[in-house]
A and B are shown apart, each in its own frame.
Chain A
Amino acid sequence: MSEVIVITSGKGGVGKTTASANLGTGLAALEKKVAMVDADIGLRNLDVILGLENRIVYDLIDVVEGNCRLKQALIKDKRYSNLFLLPAAQTKDKTAVNPEQMQKLCDNLREEYDYIIIDCPAGIEQGFKNAIAGADRAIVITTPEVSAVRDADRIIGLLESSDLKSPLLILNRIRSDMVKRGDMMALDDVTDILAIDVLGVVPDDETIVISANKGEPAVIDEKSRAGQAFRNISRRILGEQVPLMKLDVEEKLLDKLKNFFRTGN
């Protein structure tokens, strides 16, 4: 049985494309056959994160308009032969495709793949409606900031009023040092506010920038902490029970002293 999962957020720049690339690759590493669909028509980026930008011949719009067959447009990943990308068109805009066409596309992909990961564009308009049209499940990604959480709340409302019940949350880019000194909302602060179950937490990590520079998702880097978080999330998507990652880093002596005084009553 295959599953279509849309990765969405409302706000831009919180990590939808990074999460899509890492979860697609993470599921492929767990030996699932995976297709990733970049639904951000006009602003494609998933190809770059995966290092596949030089291999694009056809795109999603070509498939929808019948200029090529679906198989011709799907690009095989460099590392995993069971991982494919359907890139977005760069020269069209979001109105070049409609929700019915997206739904049909997803249904065609279901025949071949175990998981179909859709990278949703930012915003709540046409592009969002297209991206969620064919999905069975939604993952909402946010960062612990007022604006990102606010937009996530809006998206959760919109998802629940469509056919996508019970979306799951990924809280991205947590800095445990800032959480510890009370300058960043932690997971429980965010879940107090958003009525949503948690799929995972991802620490703020330099290796995400480095992996994007190289076009190699962090999930394949054994040493990357964010990569570890995405490996855990991939396993949870398969239904495994994996405890949430501990985000504490080794405290420096000065921080230890400060925390001692702060809580030492």
Chain B
Amino acid sequence: MGLLGGFFDKKASSKDIAKDRLKLVLIHDRANCTPEVLDMLKVDILNVIANYMEIDEDEMEIQISHTPKNENGEVMPVLYANIPIKSIKKTQKAHQGQNGG
């Protein structure tokens, strides 16, 4: 943004507002799943994974999208998760250890 940019652009452009609103509405429409539910799901998944491996939380990505096409020619919503692993915990029964300790 230039020195004078702020003079003309006082607020976020209405196009960006439209786009953000649309994205949220479509997540809901496509999967019948609210952003709140998705956030709760994300936290739960993280907690489970944390028992076994160390992951990069900043780079992880969890979203609802849909399959291009499937065997029956139907479009299905899918939960897409991309979770980069930093390291795998050494003990196989790490969670038991944590639960016990």
Give A136-166 interface residues, CB cut-off 8 Å to B.
Answer: 145-146, 149-150, 153-154, 157, 160-161, 163, 165
Residues of A within 8 Å of B30, CB to CB, are: 153, 157
Number of A residues near B (Cβ < 8 Å) is 28
Give A228-265 interface residues, CB cut-off 8 Å to B.
Answer: 258, 261-265
Chain A: which residue is nearest B76 at the CB level?
Answer: A161
Q: Is the CB of B22 within 8 A of A193?
A: yes
Q: Is the CB of A185 within 8 A of B2?
A: no
Complex partner residue of A182 from B3, B16, B22, B75, CB under 8 angstroms = B16
Residues of B within 8 Å of A150, CB to CB, are: 22, 25-26, 29
Q: Is the CB of B74 within 8 A of A161?
A: yes
Q: A154-B29, A264-B2 are in contact. Are A149 and B69 (CB under 8 A)?
A: no
Q: Is the CB of A265 within 8 A of B66?
A: no
Q: How far is the CA of A62 from the CA of B16 in the complex (A)?
A: 49
Q: How far is the CA of A160 from the CA of B4 in the complex (A)?
A: 47
Q: A182-B14, A261-B5 are in contact. Are A146 and B22 (CB under 8 A)?
A: yes
Whether A222 sits at the interface, judged by CB under 8 Å, is no
Whether B43 sits at the interface, judged by CB under 8 Å, is no
Which 3 A-B residue pairs are closest in the complex by CB-CB distance?
A182-B13, A265-B2, A261-B4
